[in-house]
Structure 1
């Protein structure tokens, strides 16, 4: 994905299956389809008649499970797994999921995609009450809340716990007798339920993982829902009625795989519509269109088609180079970009090139791409971005933690153009993005979270709010009045606009 070059990191990927004789292997294949969501670590837990066993490690899935025996040792007809990128908690084996908890009344396993906005305050409270944490991930907080609840049943305790944590989350929990999935009240992260021909049920972050294992989509899990899967099938209940869909628009822009569907919208088709709309909003007189591999290729095809221009392969991505975010210095990071992308001189030499990319974060990658193309002989390089300018951090599971990281937060479009050295630069409008995705939900922004573009966060920011306020300019403070008020009326994931339910 092109955005990863600028250090926006994916969230995580989760996958679970109940009722399949080779559940661990199936989970491996499902996680492989979700590898784009996290490359720092992976793990699988299998359930063999109530006995939970697991294996986890650092690196890609193939590194963590390098042999046939590493999969066959995880026996059982139910399993769940996780591929991780750290949005909360540092690297290291202690933070690799799923976590297994062994209690006197039975074992449980837990994994999580997303980020809790009140993790720090909850963790301090739990530690003061005697809780001992084995990781510094925000995931572990949920299990402490479940075990400390005095509600009569596991489901009641889970409901109390997920009403206590705030922010973005898709959880998978495995007990001895069932697999449980749940989604936050805003549905920031995607989660889908599928069914296999043998009757097994599957839960996955994206539908592409269902396709890989041969499962048919049953339905998307909706905000505030809990799905319980056991030997009798599945059932769905709710832990809150105060829900408002605000799924991360970044999923459609570049996180999700193009062959995934989210709430009935195909990701490739949405990206292609973004390119088509961008061509209407910001056409360019050019000889060809080039998409930045990989997640911008769909938008580039829409842009080229709308302008009746050739859609050329002017940039080649080396798929086997280590991710650039691990490089410790800016110089090495830029070298990493050069290793990952190469310009095709014979295609671009002497040509006016329109380059379609999905985002500009720091501007480092875009500047390198423009320079690379001009060094390869391009006569002109025009950058077109298939999303609005990224101006605000995300607190729900994407690693954009500070405004200072974002070039669009401090520079105008013209200033960004000058910085990256392009002959022209244009971004897709926010309305264009919303229309192109086309969720058409009865919710603000048609059910999308677009806070990264306009600062309109769907929930209170809890532990992050003070630092975020300190980072705002005076102009933003005037434009975002929700942050000038006392937030005591906001509880949990309740909306900033109380009139919208």
Structure 2
């Protein structure tokens, strides 16, 4: 399987009514790599919410007519989704909208709650009726409940943070304010910036700021709440900051984030090049060409080539018109899709000893297919190098990493995996070299080590991994 993206969030607020729907549309386009199952936009026109959301890619869900139907507004929030929890249905499309006694609320969420089962049970016993299966609706209910009993929406959000656990980066829109929220561990990225005309932008990654012409200001601190109003005022609330050590997801640097993004001060391209250099030091090899698997292996392949002195070659081409959704019902279709999506350049590969660099091996089937493709194209040797340590444990914080039963590295040694994928040699990034990706910041490496920063309830673990794989709509193998 391929490691799936999580979600991307986007928000905009302006002093004057503008076409923020179209601005948000461009921002979501820049975040499309973070989720391709569904997307949505909600705009606030003087306290009235208008929305459009559906299953599919941004360019398919929003036509010119759809955007024209969304009025000019002073605030907007947008979302692209991949379902790590909750089913792939239109009801689960975000942003989620809530109407209550004190007004309206729209919420976009990136991450996973680890206590959502307990919170949901409590809410249902108190009469709450859920319309979705995502934990985002749980967050919305918690915030709404707090809002009915406290003075302001930002107080409600702060109090909700005392109850929700796990990973969450949120954009929350009320009738009069826009809020950006990052969980105390800082699992998921969130930043903000400002356009030349004074519109403030909140986004999962800095690449989305660039896409709408906004200047990056800074990342939110873990635990921080930023409150924006239409007068241009910003209030930073930090009562949840510094309570726990930072645990930013290291896989943002390895795979998820776009290479042109900067997250928590770390340029993603440079981080991946450093990982490739470390990989070359840890697992040297005699070869003729270094080839990155598009797109996620390209930056690390450059670093491997720089450190090893082996020439970097563009030896594999990706079909740019194949979506990253991997909707395939069976293994044969999955294998065919890999071949349709990626193809070697025979003139580069033929007669060469090749180092093939990729970001991860999950089950091994796609890696085996890639090795076979290289050999069929004439490679005399294929040495696989992976710019992450072996996946040994599941992720509970918003990354679609499966249970140990379905992770090849949890069932086989490196030597056995090498034989299973048909490579001449195999090398992973050593766990101690993860620090080259995030040299100054604390990070979560639970999927590699099994060390989790938060408690994960037995019910949550069972609920996530007891359902048969086919019913959880896993769509690909890697």
TM range (shorter): over 0.9
Give the conservation status (yes or no) of the 8 Å contact 1:324–1:333.
Answer: no
SS at match of 1:168: coil
1:453 counterpart = 2:453: no
1:190 counterpart = 2:207: no
Give the conservation status (yes or no) of the 8 Å contact 1:223–1:244.
Answer: no
Change in 2 beyond 3 A, CA 1:383/1:295 = same
> Which residue of structure 2 lines up, in the alignment, with residue 444 of structure 1?
none
> Which residue of structure 2 lines up, in the alignment, with residue 10 of structure 1?
5
> Which residue of structure 2 lines up, in the alignment, with residue 119 of structure 1?
116
Query: Quick one: distance in 2 between partners of 1:110 and 1:466?
Result: 26
> Which residue of structure 1 lines up, in the alignment, with residue 279 of structure 2?
278
SS at match of 2:326: helix
SS at match of 1:309: coil
> Which residue of structure 1 lines up, in the alignment, with residue 345 of structure 2?
344
> Which residue of structure 2 lines up, in the alignment, with residue 243 of structure 1?
244
> Which residue of structure 2 lines up, in the alignment, with residue 390 of structure 1?
391
> Which residue of structure 1 lines up, in the alignment, with residue 140 of structure 2?
143
Q: Give the alignment's TM-score, normalised by structure 1.
A: 0.89
Q: Deviations over 1:198-223 (max 9, x none)?
A: 22111000000011111111111111
SS at match of 2:164: coil
Q: What are the residue-to-residue correspondences of 1:94-493 with 2, within 5 Å?
A: 94-149=91-146, 150-232=149-231, 233-241=233-241, 242-323=243-324, 325-434=326-435, 436-441=436-441, 447-463=442-458, 467=462
Q: Give the alignment's TM-score, normalised by structure 2.
A: 0.93
Give how far 1:346 is off. 1.2
Give the conservation status (yes or no) of the 8 Å contact 2:393–2:449.
Answer: yes
> Which residue of structure 2 lines up, in the alignment, with residue 61 of structure 1?
58
Give the conservation status (yes or no) of the 8 Å contact 1:385–1:427.
Answer: yes
Unaligned stretches of 5+ residues in structure 2: 467-478
Give the conservation status (yes or no) of the 8 Å contact 2:13–2:74.
Answer: yes
Q: What are the residue-to-residue correspondences of 1:71-90 with 2, within 5 Å?
A: 71=68, 73-90=70-87
SS at match of 2:361: coil
Runs of 4+ in 1 over 3 A off after TM superposition: 322-325, 463-471
Query: Quick one: distance in 1 between partners of 2:111 and 2:79?
Result: 12
Q: Deviations over 1:374-433 (max 9, x none)?
A: 011110000011111111100000111411121111111000000000000001111212
Structure 1 window deviating more from structure 2 (139-148 vs 177-186): it is 139-148
Query: Quick one: distance in 1 between partners of 2:227 and 2:2?
Result: 36
Query: Quick one: distance in 2 between partners of 1:214 and 1:470?
Result: 42
Change in 2 beyond 3 A, CA 1:399/1:71 = farther
Give how far 1:102 is off. 2.0
Give the total of aligned pairs: 460
Change in 2 beyond 3 A, CA 1:229/1:463 = farther
The two structures, once aligned, show a CA RMSD in angstroms of: 1.7
Give the conservation status (yes or no) of the 8 Å contact 2:37–2:56.
Answer: yes
Change in 2 beyond 3 A, CA 1:468/1:97 = closer
Structure 1 window deviating more from structure 2 (143-152 vs 25-34): it is 143-152
SS at match of 2:175: coil
Query: Quick one: distance in 2 between partners of 1:144 and 1:157?
Result: 11
Q: Deviations over 1:55-84 (max 9, x none)?
A: 001100011102255345342121110000
Give how far 1:152 is off. 3.2
Query: Quick one: distance in 1 between partners of 2:323 and 2:34?
Result: 15
Structure 1 window deviating more from structure 2 (34-43 vs 46-55): it is 46-55
